[in-house]
Amino acid sequence: GLNIGPLLKDTGLVTYDPGFMNTANTKSAITYIDGDEGILRYRGYPIEQLAEHSSFLEVAYLLIYGELPTGDQLEDWDQNVRMHTMLHEDLKGFFSGFPRDAHPMPVLSSAVSALSTFYADSLDPFDEEQVHISTIRLLAKLPVIASYAFKKSLGQPMLYPDNSLNLVENFLRLSFGVPAEPYELDPDVVKALDLLLMLHADHEQNCSTSTVRLVGSSQANMFASISAGINALYGPLHGGANEAVLNMLRKIQAEGIKPEEFMEKVKNKEDGVKLMGFGHRVYKNYDPRAKIIKSTAEDILNKLGGNDELLDIARRLEEKALADDYFVERRLYPNVDFYTGVIYKAMGFPEKMFTVLFALGRLPGWIAQWRELMEDKTTKIGRPRQIYTGVQSRDYPAGR
Ligand code: ACO
């Protein structure tokens, strides 16, 4: 039988819940999801309304402070972020130490971890001023770090941030601009990227956010905790799904398979093939973010003249799936990733950058959740139990 061990004897009932399917690890006032109804709200505001009226930076403020900023507060917030974009020259040295073809995600998490060494003056999780300055530093510097990781992978020189630009504009210029040539921003691309980041800004206790909380529960500083979250997001089951969608669409295009034929393969579970970008652990209805993204995908592809054929294949797969019993019975609907890869590709980002873009978007959520954890005086260090299944007890062999 199972032995629960002496550790568990004093705790009463212990649940065994692999994947934490039914275990809440915290109370939280930040994000509300109703997966059956396809509802997502940040601080009570429906995601559809925020998508229509708000911006990524405003939503970051909302998630972190609980209320929408006044006009003055938003201006201060924006200015503060613009003024903290510079990276210390020594931190920039990090980028040259990685191999040329380094994946930008581990570069991102390493650089964020290194922020603890460069900003040792703001590591106290219980000092309001220090938490504030760390918040600003992270929001301002992560897009710069991300674009430097991208430039590194291209073998191109890095540009200095430009404080006259906002967060998204700066990131686009740093990613696609080259020295001595003016970079012309496309307002439609700025708007679309701002929206995509906003839609990813929080999603309650997903794997990376729970990681940020677990690491933070040891009172690890914000940079250390969020670096751990970035590593959790790096896993293909979490942050890598949009890349998988794009690969699937490309394969269908390259092999000239009809969407109908592909659907048959999926339904017959041939070689374990799945319709990537469909289904979600929590949403058993249309992912509300996917609905918003779908129309952006159409607008931006019309504008940029990206690979329309891929979008076409995506549309036809979606249409077929929504009318198919297999998907209806299993309550499989498009998730947020179904269209994001196609959009990012049209903007000029390679697949390697997709998860990095997810991380940029998710940052305000990680910060808000870490801060909520630190402000909660009842927080205990996270320490799950286990069910021990090994050998109970034996003696070390005599004479060995
Ligand atoms: N295509 C075909 N069949 C599917 C799909 C899919 N995309 N997703 C689930 N199913 C089927 C399963 O085979 C299973 O069928 P069965 O009852 O005949 O065995 C049934 O639907 C239930 O699926 P589960 O895997 O048990 O559902 P779960 O909630 O554990 O998984 C998940 C959710 C992992 C997202 C799954 O739907 C999937 O693999 N989707 C494709 C990958 C993807 O798009 N991931 C991104 C998620 S969003 C995000 O991370 C931001």
Task: Give the mean model confidence (pLDDT) for residues 79-93.
Answer: 94
| Structure confidence at residue 1 (pLDDT) | 47
**Residue found by looking up tokens 């530093």 in the block:** 137
Q: How many CA atoms lie within 13 A of 99 on its CB side?
A: 4
63-to-67, 285, 362, 364 alpha-carbon distances in Å: 8, 24, 11, 7
Kindly report, residue by residue over 120-155, the tens digit of the pLDDT: 999 999 999 999 999 999 999 999 999 999 998 888
Any residues with Cβ below 6 Å from ligand 1, and which? 238, 241, 266, 274-281, 330, 332, 335-337
Residue nearest to atom 42 of ligand 1 (CA): 276
Task: State yes or no: pLDDT of 262 exceeds 50.
Answer: yes
Helix ranges (DSSP H) in 122-240: 128-154, 167-176, 187-199, 207-216, 222-234
The model's pTM: 0.92
Distance from residue 212's CA to the centre of ligand 1 (Å): 25
Kindly report, residue by residue over 315-358, the tens digit of the pLDDT: 899 999 999 999 999 999 998 888 898 899 889 999 889 999 99
Distance from residue 275's CA to the centre of ligand 1 (Å): 8
Residue nearest to atom 3 of ligand 1 (CA): 274
DSSP letter for each residue of 20-33: GTT------SSEEE
132-to-126, 136, 367 alpha-carbon distances in Å: 11, 6, 10
280 as an active site residue: the answer is yes
**329/134 Cα distance (integer angstroms):** 47
Q: Please, are residues 116 and 141 in contact by the beta-carbon 8 Å criterion?
A: no
Distance from residue 332's CA to the centre of ligand 1 (Å): 7
Q: Please, are residues 60 and 364 in contact by the beta-carbon 8 Å criterion?
A: yes
Nearest alpha-carbon partner for 138 in 226, 229, 42, 31 = 226
β-strand pairing of 31-34 with 45-46: unpaired
238 as an active site residue: the answer is no
